[in-house]
Amino acid sequence: MGGAVNEFLLVLAIAAVAAGLTWLGAPVAERFDLPHRVVSGALQFAAGVVTALVAISLMPPALRNGVTERIVLAFFLGGVVFVAVELIAQRLLADSAAGEGASPGFYIAILVDLLVDGVVIGVGATLTLMTGVLLALGMAISTAPLAFVATATAKRQGIARRQRQRLAYLFVVAIIGGAALGYLVLREQPLDVRMFLIALASGFLITTVTQSMIPEANKEGEPGFAGILYIGGLSLYGLMALTIK
């Protein structure tokens, strides 16, 4: 019993590191008005990290340990879930005042994404704690730019500073809460179930890259160095995956 409690606390500590690094994007946005090129570069780099995370750490064990047809279906459904979340967010955005004020849709999409990231960390930790650590580091690199963009957007929209701070705290809650949920609920589940959910999260994350992160990075035109930063994110996570055992 004591060992299980200690392991759970360690998972929470791992998630807290990822959440803390993600949260740092918020005070940076509060302190600095960085040009879009910098934000774009950060998002391109983060997109590369997420792509590598799925390709190296999530899908290979899912395909190796799960039923291939179910894993592929789960991957597809993960993308469908993201699209559904985006459609709901757009509906909320359309219902807001002229699209200029504080819209909940954009922030809901980011919070859902962070919640999924947390669940992935928790599920990964049910495989091995080191897998959880690796996923947490990768997630932190990819989510800090999202926290920055969300806070900068809220600041530009004129949302009160106190509300922006609450939003930043929600980033932390989403990641740690997702990790706790993923670990506690799924650690006793059969391996097939965990592999299915990992594939589901993989589809969600890849669709996040293609439909949210890269379009957001390129909304003012794709910078010439975008490809370099994207492959840089891929390479960094690949190096982490090979060296952290």
Per-residue pLDDT, 55: 92
d(CA 86, CA 31): 29
pLDDT tens digits, 93-144 = 665 544 444 455 567 767 877 888 888 888 888 878 888 888 888 888 778 8
Contact by Cβ (8 Å): 203, 74: yes
pLDDT tens digits, 34-61 = 777 777 888 888 888 889 989 988 899 8
Nearest to 142 by CA among 173, 125, 107, 117: 117
pLDDT tens digits, 67-100 = 999 999 999 999 999 888 888 777 766 655 444 4
Note the pTM of the prediction, 2 decimals. Answer: 0.79
